[in-house]
């Protein structure tokens, strides 16, 4: 069962056919996955019923199978500590109504998470999705939201590239992120070719047409997309974003 902070209501999941596609832009190979939050059941996962981190896509899928559900897409969904606990705000499927264990992180510090502005990706109780800068998100904290993950840096902020990104940076890594279009479509993208922040942000803004986009992580970026025969292996993850369907 999933809950909304301050309100609970149900969502009927429907599979998104061929949600994920492969594309190449400026010699960078990407996987792009598109979902309609009004139709597709987007969830966030962290810990199992025993309070232990799922860590891997298969373990999320096994837990869902016991409830008659199936994972049809997943991706790592934000930065985490060594114990796999989120660095910032996290509201997921395992939490009880009204419970927020991992709070909004406004601290300064090292690393990409603190390359401000950072931001929050969230899904509301009405089935809308949005991305807000952390400071702007504080204004919607009292509203209804079902899932949320804080990460950083923001890639695109109101159609502007993050001001700290350099077009000639030599930091090239596999990266993944999420953007939301003006009509509310949620787009996840993973760069299979190492890419700099600036080019990754440009891809979200100019090719995917997302006025706001959020970086989720790099190097450890992983994807679960059965239609592409993708179930990327690796070390245990922290937060995981997924799309779920009910079994027939």
Distances in Å between the Cα of 203 and the Cα atoms of 60, 100, 140, 194 are 30, 33, 28, 13
- In terms of Cβ atoms closer than 10 Å to its own Cβ (0-12, 13-18, 19+), residue 209 is middle
Closest residue by Cα to residue 219 from 200, 191, 239, 242:
191
pLDDT of residue 143: 60
Domain count, the chain: 1
Which residues sit opposite 177 in a β-bridge? 189, 215
Cβ atoms of 178 and 217 closer than 8 Å: no
Question: Per residue in 214-234, pLDDT tens?
Answer: 999 999 999 999 999 999 999
Below-70 pLDDT ranges, the chain: 1-17, 96-98, 141-143
Specify the DSSP element, H or E, that contains 218. strand 212-218
Which residues sit opposite 173 in a β-bridge? 195
Alpha carbon dihedral 90, 91, 94, 95, in 10-degree steps, equals: 110
Q: Is residue 69 part of a domain?
A: yes
Sequence-distant (6+) residues with CB within 8 A of 23 are 29, 30, 31, 32
Positive or negative, the Cα torsion across 47, 99, 221, 24?
Answer: positive
Q: Is residue 3 part of a domain?
A: no
Which residues sit opposite 130 in a β-bridge? 122
Spatial separation of the C-alpha atoms in residues 60 and 81, rounded to whole Å: 20
Q: Is residue 129 part of a domain?
A: yes
Quote the tokens at residue 60.
């999320």
Q: Which domain holds residue 173?
A: 20-246
Q: What is the pTM of this model?
A: 0.92
Q: Is residue 15 part of a domain?
A: no
Q: Is residue 5 part of a domain?
A: no
Q: Tally Cβ neighbours within 10 Å of residue 27.
A: 8
Cβ atoms of 192 and 30 closer than 8 Å: yes
pLDDT of residue 16: 47
pLDDT of residue 154: 99
Q: Is residue 9 part of a domain?
A: no
Specify the DSSP element, H or E, that contains 60. helix 57-65
Q: Is residue 12 part of a domain?
A: no
Closest residue by Cα to residue 176 from 158, 162, 164, 194:
194
Closest residue by Cα to residue 241 from 125, 138, 129:
129
pLDDT of residue 17: 61
pLDDT of residue 44: 98
Q: Is residue 201 part of a domain?
A: yes
């Amino acid at each position: 069962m999933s809950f909304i902070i301050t309100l609970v209501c149900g969502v009927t999941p429907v599979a998104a056919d061929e949600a994920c596609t492969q594309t190449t832009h400026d010699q960078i190979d990407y996987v792009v996955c598109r979902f309609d939050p009004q139709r597709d059941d987007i969830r966030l996962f962290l810990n199992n019923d025993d309070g232990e981190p799922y860590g891997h896509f298969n373990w999320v899928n096994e837990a869902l199978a016991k409830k008659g559900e199936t994972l049809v897409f997943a991706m790592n969904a934000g930065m985490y500590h060594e114990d796999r606990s989120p660095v910032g705000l996290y509201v997921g499927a395992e939490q009880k109504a009204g419970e927020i264990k991992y709070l909004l992180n406004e601290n300064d510090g090292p690393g990409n998470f603190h390359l401000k502005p950072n931001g929050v990706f969230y899904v509301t109780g009405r089935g809308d999705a949005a991305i807000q800068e952390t400071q702007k998100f504080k204004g919607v904290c009292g509203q209804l939201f079902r899932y949320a993950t804080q990460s950083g840096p923001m890639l695109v902020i109101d159609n502007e590239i993050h001001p700290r990104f350099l077009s000639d940076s030599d930091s090239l890594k596999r990266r993944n992120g999420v953007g939301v279009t003006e009509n509310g479509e949620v787009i996840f993208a993973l760069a299979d070719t190492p890419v700099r922040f600036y080019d990754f942000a440009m891809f979200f803004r100019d090719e995917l047409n997302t006025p706001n986009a959020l970086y989720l992580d790099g190097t450890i970026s992983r994807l679960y997309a059965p239609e592409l025969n993708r179930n990327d292996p690796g070390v245990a993850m922290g937060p995981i974003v997924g799309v779920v369907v009910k079994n027939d």
